[in-house]
Amino acid sequence: MRRLHASLLWVALVLLIGCSREEPASNVSDSAREETVIAQVETDPLTGLKMAGDWELVRGNCTACHSAKLITQQRGTAEQWLAMIRWMQKKQNLWQFDPDTESRIIAYLADNYPPDAARRRAAIPRDLMPPNPYAYASAN
């Protein structure tokens, strides 16, 4: 009886060790892994900006008129970020930056808030769309 107990104990022990070994994370998708990496960058509790590189320059220049949330919920390439800045300069009284400041701001934005494959795709340009069957019913 005592031998039976002892061997049952061994079986239990072997099972325990066998099951507790972690599975290799082979089924984790690339985007999930990417998000884990991104999540490791600390965010500023006040603005929500990722605290990397020139984030304080962006905080200083980009949160005077609106919440940083407008920035953190946006994504874009360097070109797209520059276009947003040009739009604000033209329409929203955003001041001009010296070239060095501007390129550092753009680099921060494009590095930390790049286009994201998991998000909704960009709209298809109108000239690449099929003809609109309701063209006469509505204004466009």
Site residues for ligand HEC per CB under 6 A: 61-62, 64-66, 70-71, 74, 84-85, 88, 92-94, 105, 109
- Separation between Cα atoms, residue 50 and residue 107, nearest integer Å: 13
Element (H, E) at 106: helix 99-112
Residue 47 vs 109, nearer CB to ligand HEC: 109
Question: Which residue has 């061997």 as its token pair?
Answer: 7
Residue with tokens 């998708």: 29
User: How far apart, in whole angstroms, are the C-alpha atoms of residue 128 and residue 102?
Assistant: 33
- Whichever of 61 and 103 has its CB closer to ligand HEC, that residue is 61
In terms of CB distance, is 36 or 89 closer to ligand HEC? Answer: 89
Smallest gap from residue 119 Cβ to ligand HEC (A):
14
